[in-house]
A = this chain, B = another copy of it.
Amino acid sequence: MATATTRNNYLDENQSRFIEQLLEWLAIPSISTLPEHKDDVRRAADWVRDKLVAMGFPEAKTIATEGHPLVYGQWLIDNKRPTLLFYGHYDVQPVDPIDEWQTPPFQPTIRDGNIYCRGASDDKAQIMLVLAALEAWIKVDGALPLNIKILLEGEEEAGGASIARYVQENPEFLRADAVLICDTHMVHPKQPSLVTGLRGVLYTELAVSGAKTDLHSGSYGGVAPNPIHALCILISRLKGEDGVIQIPELAAAIPIPSAAEELFWQEDPLHAKEALCTEMGVEELVGEKEYPALERIGLRPALEVHGIRGGFTGTGAKTVIPASAIAKVSLRLPAGLEPNEVFAWLEKAVDEKIPGGHKVRLSNLHSGKGFYIEHDNRYIRAAAEALESAYGTAPVFMREGGSIPIAALFDTVLKTPVVLMGFGLPDDNIHAPNEKFSINQFNKGTKTVADFLGRLTSG
């Protein structure tokens, strides 16, 4: 077995080639939620399958689904060695508001040590850095240090239905000793972190209707149902200025954290609160002020409105009372909760809180369970050691606010420990204009993953 230094040298020497390939992949606008990008999503799948073939994977293929294809690669070297299943997603978020991008969202651009492109941090660069780490083993040591299965999906930003079905139907085929996911971020460029918890998500659409047609506000203003107004009242009743979600069943279901975790949140040694304020450009956090910032993001449920639309919003004025209005509303859920059960609670709350004279319909657009792994799991320890070796600092254990439903699925269906070791940074602007990924993080990430693979074999 070669030394870590040799592999690290290989990774440094070949970095510009890895980046070049990444830019080529990033330029494919694989937006999974927009039907007009279906072919682009397919191209992005083919691209990474071809990359696996070029790396020498004996098995590398796309798998057709009812939605976008999965990409599967497998290189089994020795059934006495452990097997690692690596998961990632090659699809990306939509790009609007497009006007706010400094460079076009699918024209990958390097500025100030970062790669700017939709999908850079979430999740193409983080897949590419794992492929680079694998290549280092193949080229420097002549072989991978353990058995590798790679499963990439193209619907992570669109609910992930196809991979969920595939995992449920093929647990034996996907069997592994651990799962690696690089789709999260570190708390700080100098402070590595491992994600040991993720919130679940329930994403819904609220549609409110009133009169049978649009009305003139002069003739009907003061007596008419107004679906926009009713939607506003409903939303303000679901969560008021104090940030407390008014769903009693949900409030009762929030789990109790460990004393150590509670202390870490209270003390906030990483100054998460100040960091969040700086990232958002605000002076104060909004919401449940009595809870620490990290607890609110990692454990507490959150209700957020992502979009609202109704009536006339063009230039100028139109004195209309519209017949309908819609909003996209999600709940982030503590680990352990079943989104479908929460949907029923939300539905009940919505029916109770909608102002009289209006109809409301709640649709479940997608959902995923939360996730939690104990800090002393052996794969978590291996990851922690690899991070400490690369960054010179032991990682902190974080509960992330984001949702990776597939992590919960691997956990509950495959019953395999999941290591969430991400190399994004808090200011990566994921899901927003000017998404980027740090080239320095790319480099450190390749080395950390290469080291982690070695520790799994020797462990």
Binding site for B on A (CB under 8 A): 33-35, 93-94, 96-97, 100, 157-159, 185, 199, 201, 203, 210-226, 228-229, 231-233, 235-237, 239-241, 243, 276, 279-288, 293, 296-297, 300-322, 325-328, 330, 332, 355-358, 365-366, 400-403, 426, 429-434
Contacts and interface: CB of A to CB of B under 8 A. Distances in A.
Contacts of A201: 218, 319
Number of copies of this protein chain within its complex: 2
Contacts of A400: 218-219
B158 A97 contact: no
Contacts of A355: 241, 286
A303 B240 CA distance: 21
Contact of A365 (B157, B283, B302, B316): B316
24 contacts: A35-B315, A93-B318, A94-B314, A158-B316, A185-B219, A210-B282, A212-B281, A213-B280, A221-B297, A221-B302, A222-B288, A223-B293, A224-B286, A224-B287, A241-B355, A241-B356, A285-B357, A286-B357, A304-B321, A306-B318, A317-B330, A317-B365, A318-B328, A319-B330
Contacts of A93: 318
A72 B293 CA distance: 66
Given A33-B318, A226-B286, A307-B228, A280 B215 contact: yes
Given A241-B355, A308-B325, A328-B313, A218 B319 contact: no
B313 A213 contact: no
Contacts of A226: 286, 304-305
Given A219-B426, A223-B285, A357-B286, A315 B34 contact: yes
A419 B142 CA distance: 95
Contacts of A303: 221
Contact of A240 (B233, B282, B310): B233
Given A33-B316, A158-B317, A228-B307, 7 more contacts: A34-B315, A96-B314, A100-B214, A218-B400, A223-B285, A232-B232, A308-B310
A297 B213 contact: no
B217 A306 contact: yes
A213 B328 contact: no
Given A222-B300, A223-B296, A400-B218, A317 B312 contact: no
Contact of A216 (B96, B239, B314, B432): B432
**Which of A185, A211, A286, A365 counts the most chain B CB atoms within 10 A?**
A286
A225 B296 contact: no
Contacts of A215: 280, 431-432
A68 to B, nearest CB: 13
Given A222-B401, A241-B355, A319-B203, A332 B282 contact: no
A221 B297 CA distance: 7
B328 A280 contact: no
Contact of A282 (B225, B231, B302): B225
Contacts of A305: 226, 228-229, 232, 310-311
A236 B241 contact: no
A427 to B, nearest CB: 10
Given A236-B236, A296-B222, A228 B312 contact: no
A46 to B, nearest CB: 23
Given A232-B236, A307-B228, A218 B281 contact: no
A312 B94 contact: yes
A208 to B, nearest CB: 11
Contacts of A332: 217-218, 221-222
A435 to B, nearest CB: 10
